[in-house]
Structure 1
């Protein structure tokens, strides 16, 4: 690109469109043609703005976490609510998102985690998925440890097991939603799951 020449597309909008394609089709199910068609750009522009397919995928994953992952966590930190209510609100927020018919369906990170269990993802993408899940687990562990210190959980409770419980629940909700299960049924599962808090 020559000095002073401007791109003829909005990079953030193009990234969002790429994210939706990867979210819907997975890494292995997405071709460069799928991406350029959805983004409204040609291959040279894609390479110039985002690098290769793997780099674009990593950028799309990080964008997904910021837009669709981080906001749920705020539900766990809401003031003046019981721990049970906050965990329920967190999971219900996820259920609403994964069942939203205006989105590709399910959870991009969940689908990526499933692909990570095979040979579908190249190394940088695999590391990104692992790092995101590790960061989530650590955040949950620290959250539950803090709840123990506040007296909202018995000290005998395992923060690690509870962190795994939340991650398992959100992944399970996403898979169920992707399989066509509606939000009201997901909420029934959540009510059952949090009954012991």
Structure 2
């Protein structure tokens, strides 16, 4: 027996789950938290998503796809991708207090899950590597077009930017202040000339 059909938009429900997982973390999010936030019943949760772990995995996937697409679109709006990368990072400093305190969903998940669940850790890692590859793609393009003059290896620069991404998402919790964050980010980005 197939059961009753879904009467909700799966992507909308997963986005609600992302919000609660992002705010609380995987371990601290209870099934009751999820049911309340997602506005579905227990049967629907288990029928559509299987388990909390499977829902979290789907949340990581959806968040990864959407956030990488958004980041890449921001970078692509500039003729010079290095300016796009720099502006993307500098815009982080202008976020509101709550956004600063949330940090990065992928980074948070990787930190939390490193010693708890290899499968979920791997999924969070994979999404961060996709971000690294976006940086690599545009750094390589900028070098080919003569828009980036450094002799630093493009892969190392992409990993440097990923490291900046991870670090700034911790630092913004300590200093949720536009001026402080912007000055740190600009200094870090000075390697891209």
Aligned to 2:139: 144
**Count of aligned pairs between the two proteins:** 192
**Does 1:111 pair with 2:72?**
no
TM-superposed deviation, 1:69: 3.5
Aligned to 1:42: 41
TM-superposed deviation, 1:177: 2.4
2:32 and 2:8 mapped to 1: Cα distance? 17
Mark the runs of 5 or more structure 2 residues left unpaired by the alignment.
none
* Change over 3 Å in CA distance of 1:94–1:131 after alignment to 2: same
* Change over 3 Å in CA distance of 1:171–1:155 after alignment to 2: closer
TM-superposed deviation, 1:75: 2.9
Root-mean-square deviation (CA, aligned residues, Å) is 2.5
TM-superposed deviation, 1:96: 4.1
* Change over 3 Å in CA distance of 1:160–1:102 after alignment to 2: closer
1:128 and 1:109 mapped to 2: Cα distance? 9
Output the TM-score relative to the length of structure 2. Answer: 0.84
**Does 1:91 pair with 2:89?**
yes
Q: Is the 8 A contact 1:141 1:160 kept in 2?
A: yes
Q: Is the 8 A contact 2:75 2:84 kept in 1?
A: yes
1:48-197 matches, cutoff 5 A? 48-81=47-80, 83=82, 85-97=83-95, 99=96, 101=98, 105-117=102-114, 119-120=115-116, 122-154=117-149, 156-179=151-174, 181-196=176-191, 197=193
1:191 and 1:155 mapped to 2: Cα distance? 17
TM-superposed deviation, 1:155: 6.6
2:34 and 2:86 mapped to 1: Cα distance? 36
Mark the runs of 5 or more structure 1 residues left unpaired by the alignment.
none
Output the TM-score relative to the length of structure 1. Answer: 0.83
